[in-house]
């Protein structure tokens, strides 16, 4: 799923690669290459199907299947690039979206499917609908009946209808009436048969029937799953609590997600078995026994949504005894995914109350949050000494988080989406426009701190909320480590270039801390003026680098200036002359800065 989305209320953000189109395209292309390999006829490969073409992540209000209204230039500059990158990576098929885009349901959008995808991009792979999205054109109010829906979809060059049967029921009639010609049918059939031929299904339709699959829970697969989970955790806060000190003697392990084997698997896991999941409780008990640490466990809440805290007195007794509290909070898997959207994205149930209760004992608290989306927890963030965001880490969640907590590995994940301070500030995303009245720290005061006699203009006429300001809780690209990294000596190969040149950017990165760790070096640019206003920053490249304590290296990134263009008011893709800023750093709100000019 390579839908760009900026709305954490949307349940399917759990499936997305986040709010940036470049990141969606790079990760999506990597998945395609992994699925399809070098040759689709290899029985170990499968045909990929990037989705949802297009705009599904842009649904109004973060409500699944909802209306999408998006300017044409943003559609081409933000929503569509990941699909072009997917096609360039060789995607064997493309799935359309449930939603309408600017009034036309995606499964019947001739301009998107036939004119752009087929003719302009030259895509010859299979295009299939999402589940019953062809007949849903009737419900949208785009066609009066399923026959006309079949007509619209075929005219748009949709090859395959998923689940519903409008094609089966009406395409023969539409051909007899002369509204659909046989060549259109032949083209669709040819594309479907070609994919089957490429997969080797005509040579061996049951390629695996006599072959042995890899053993379930294969040791190598579990190690890979653990490493993926380790590198996906994002450290958001750490006041010298993590990693745990060797002198730790007693740990209070508390929370409904500490031992929730099904929930740690996340959404869309129909074939995942909770019996195979190793929970944090299981893994931490094993580690505690090995290290002769006393582990005191309380689930505290029956499930994440529970509003009653169980055994308060026992919890507080053990919290006071403990050297540190490991608090496992977040969302059950059922709270994110398709058709699981939320208007309130605070920690559910009595979790905030639980945090405040535990904090009253003044024992250091490290919170591990498992969730399919960003949750808002600004109100209780001060009560937590460390916050490690685990998402839903899968089967090997327990071993992964245990190795991170004890410092066997350092967190290296970065946020793929902006974390808002409050749900009411959504949409909030890093590559926003500047506006004519941009906010700053000098122009915003909290509304509850404004004296009643203050004149109207003393609070500053800028683009901000009186109560929640203008900054996110955590910016896109943010993530801490157990070590510290120093960026130095940012160099550009040139400061004045033609639009068809490659700009070489180099920076010195040094591990100035005491832990071996990985850092994601991020490169952003800004076009200061143009034929359209441009975002304050745009991600252009990123690279993950591992360094030992004290080690430094030169990171070199080649930036093709043809990749930093956009669609002008005439809908032409252009790289315009003018002044540009460039940053290299650890996230979207910091970094070393340089300037260059395109001639």
Strand partners, 510: 486, 552
Cβ-based neighbour number of residue 82 at 10 Å: 27
Q: Which residues contact 458 (CB under 8 A, 6 or more apart)?
A: 450
User: How open is the CA angle 227-228-231, to the nearest 5 degrees?
Assistant: 85
Q: Using alpha carbons, select from 278, 526, 559, 232 the residue that is nearest to residue 395.
A: 278
What is the spatial distance between Cα 282 and Cα 236, in angstroms, rounded to a whole number? 25
Q: Which residues contact 403 (CB under 8 A, 6 or more apart)?
A: 226, 230, 409
Angle between helix 182-198 and 146-155 (nearest 10): 70
CA–chain centroid gap for 219, Å, is 28
Find out whether the peptide bond into 205 is cis, omega within 30 degrees of 0: no
Cβ-based neighbour number of residue 371 at 10 Å: 26
What token pair was written down for 280? 């944090």
Strands 386-389 and 365-370 turn out to be: parallel
User: Do the beta carbons of residue 344 and residue 327 sit within 8 Å?
Assistant: no
Residue 593 backbone dihedrals phi, psi, to 5 degrees:
-120, 145
22-31's contacts with Cβ under 8 Å and 24+ in sequence apart are 22/81, 22/538, 22/539, 22/540, 23/416, 23/539, 23/542, 24/82, 25/81, 25/82, 25/84, 25/85, 25/86, 26/85, 27/2, 28/2, 28/82, 28/85, 28/86, 28/89, 29/85, 29/86, 29/88, 29/89
Q: Which of 7, 130, 159, 385 is catalytic?
A: 130
User: Do the beta carbons of residue 137 and residue 143 sit within 8 Å?
Assistant: yes
What is the spatial distance between Cα 312 and Cα 308, in angstroms, rounded to a whole number? 10
3-state secondary structure (DSSP) of residue 389: strand
115 as an active site residue: the answer is no
Cβ-based neighbour number of residue 157 at 10 Å: 19
What is the spatial distance between Cα 464 and Cα 88, in angstroms, rounded to a whole number? 40
What is the three-state SS of 24-54? HHHHHHHHHHHHHCCCCCCCCCCCCCCCCEC
Provide the phi-psi class of 525: left if phi over 0, else alpha when psi is between -120 and 50, else beta: beta
Task: Specify the DSSP element, H or E, that contains 220.
Answer: helix 219-232
Q: Using alpha carbons, select from 81, 90, 78 the residue that is nearest to residue 31.
A: 90
What is the spatial distance between Cα 336 and Cα 24, in angstroms, rounded to a whole number? 19
Within 261-417, strands assigned E span: 294-298, 324-330, 365-370, 386-389
CA–chain centroid gap for 276, Å, is 26
CA–chain centroid gap for 587, Å, is 15
Give the single-character DSSP code of 467.
Answer: T
Catalytic residues: 130
């Amino acid at each position: 799923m390579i839908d760009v989305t900026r709305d954490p209320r949307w349940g399917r953000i759990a499936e997305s690669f986040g709010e940036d189109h470049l990141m969606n395209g790079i990760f999506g292309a990597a998945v395609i290459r992994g699925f399809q390999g070098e040759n689709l006829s290899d029985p170990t490969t499968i045909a990929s199907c990037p989705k949802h073409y297009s705009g599904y992540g842009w649904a109004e209000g973060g409500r699944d299947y909802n209306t999408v209204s998006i300017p044409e230039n943003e559609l081409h500059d933000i929503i569509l690039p990941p699909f072009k990158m997917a096609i360039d990576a060789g995607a064997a098929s493309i799935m359309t979206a449930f939603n309408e885009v600017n009034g036309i349901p995606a499964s019947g959008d001739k301009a998107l499917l036939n004119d752009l995808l087929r003719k302009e991009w030259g895509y010859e792979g299979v295009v299939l609908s999402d589940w019953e999205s062809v007949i849903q054109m009737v419900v949208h109010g785009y066609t009066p009946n399923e026959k006309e829906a079949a007509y619209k979809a075929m005219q748009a060059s949709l090859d395959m209808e998923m689940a519903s049967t409008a094609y089966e029921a009406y395409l023969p009639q539409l051909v007899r009436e002369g509204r659909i010609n046989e060549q259109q049918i032949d083209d669709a059939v040819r594309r479907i048969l070609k994919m089957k031929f490429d997969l080797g299904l005509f040579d061996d339709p049951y390629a695996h029937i006599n072959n042995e699959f890899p053993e379930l829970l294969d040791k190598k697969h579990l190690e890979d799953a653990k490493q993926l989970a380790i590198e996906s955790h994002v450290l958001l806060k750490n006041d010298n609590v993590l990693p745990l000190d060797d002198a730790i003697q007693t740990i209070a392990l508390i929370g409904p997600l500490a031992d929730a084997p099904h929930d740690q698997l996340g959404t869309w896991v129909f074939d995942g078995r909770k019996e195979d999941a190793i929970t944090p409780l299981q893994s931490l008990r094993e580690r505690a026994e090995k290290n002769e640490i006393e582990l005191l466990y309380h689930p505290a809440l029956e499930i994440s949504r529970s509003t009653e805290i169980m055994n308060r007195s026992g919890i507080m007794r053990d919290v006071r005894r403990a050297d540190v509290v490991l608090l496992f909070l977040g969302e059950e898997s059922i709270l994110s995914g398709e058709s699981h959207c939320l208007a309130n994205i605070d920690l559910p149930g009595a979790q905030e109350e639980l945090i405040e209760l535990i904090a009253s004992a003044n024992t250091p608290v490290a919170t591990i949050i498992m969730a399919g989306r960003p949750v808002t927890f600004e109100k209780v963030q001060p009560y937590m000494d460390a916050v490690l965001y685990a998402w839903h880490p899968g089967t090997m969640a327990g071993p992964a988080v245990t190795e991170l907590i004890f410092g066997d590995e350092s967190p290296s994940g970065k946020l793929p989406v902006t974390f808002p301070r409050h749900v009411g500030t959504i949409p909030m995303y890093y590559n926003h426009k500047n506006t004519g009245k941009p906010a700053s720290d000098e122009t915003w005061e909290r509304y509850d701190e404004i004296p009643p006699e203050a004149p109207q203009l003393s609070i500053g006429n800028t683009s901000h909320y009186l109560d929640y300001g203008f900054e996110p809780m955590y910016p896109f690209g943010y993530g801490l480590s157990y070590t510290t990294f120093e960026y130095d000596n940012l160099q550009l190969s040139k400061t004045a270039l033609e639009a068809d040149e490659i700009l070489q950017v180099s920076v010195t990165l040094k591990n100035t801390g005491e832990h071996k760790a990985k850092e994601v070096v991020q490169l952003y640019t800004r076009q200061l003026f143009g034929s359209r206003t441009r975002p304050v920053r745009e991600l252009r490249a990123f690279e993950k680098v591992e360094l030992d304590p004290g080690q430094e290296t030169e990171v070199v990134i080649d930036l093709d200036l043809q990749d930093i263009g956009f669609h002008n008011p005439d809908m032409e893709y252009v790289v315009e002359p003018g002044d540009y800023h460039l940053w290299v750093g650890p996230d979207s709100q910091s970094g070393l800065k340089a300037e260059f000019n395109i001639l």
